[in-house]
Amino acid sequence: MAKLKDLLPDGKNANRGTERGQQMVENSLRQFGAGRSILIDKNGRIIAGNKTFENAGAVGIEDVIVVQTDGTKLVAVQRMDLDLEKDKRAKELAIADNRAGQVSLNWDPDVLKEFDVDLKQFWTTNELEALFPADDEEKKKLKGLDQGDDLRYQIVIDCKDESEQTSMLDRFEEEGMKARPLIS
């Protein structure tokens, strides 16, 4: 058991959040209680769940149950007061949890630029262009594109699932081809 005040927020959280999202997260915590866990590193710094952390204190949540893991097991939060088959509140919590996360998401491009990660694994080219409106040279640098990125021939391959798609993309990359998932 730990105290909420002992956790450390992510000072470089790339999700700025939105005012509406903050209010939705707070309302959900107030109305339904905590529905999911947050993720902290070994030092108690929040990796994921900063908005939930920020609002938990506002609704009077002080205690934190810390489950230590190395990521090889899924941690499930079991609400003993809810039955998804019978309780309207359980269904409302499911909607509130997902909708609040969706509405609260507001990426900070400046913070994302500071991360030493390949953003192409999380966004399509078009999404990156919308996220980083910049001149052509800066766009190419951000996307890892070079002058020869002019695609003249394209194919579409239907995969049975995400695993097969990932495998195909890896195979194409190993063979020196440029490939990206098509979002329809």
**pLDDT tens string 95-118:** 999 999 899 999 999 999 899 899
Residue type, 39: L
pLDDT for 1: 87
Residue labelled with tokens 């909420």: 4
pLDDT for 16: 93
pLDDT for 149: 47
Query: DSSP letter string over 74-120?
Result: ------TT--TTT-HHHHHHHHHHHHHHHHH--B-HHHHHHS-S-GG
pLDDT for 145: 47
- Which percentage of the chain shows pLDDT scores above 70? 88
Report whether pLDDT(135) > 60: no
Across the chain, mean pLDDT equals 87
pLDDT for 43: 95
**pLDDT tens string 50-97:** 999 999 999 999 999 999 999 999 999 999 999 999 999 999 999 999
Residue 113 CA: distances (Å) to CA of 70, 83, 141 = 28, 43, 11
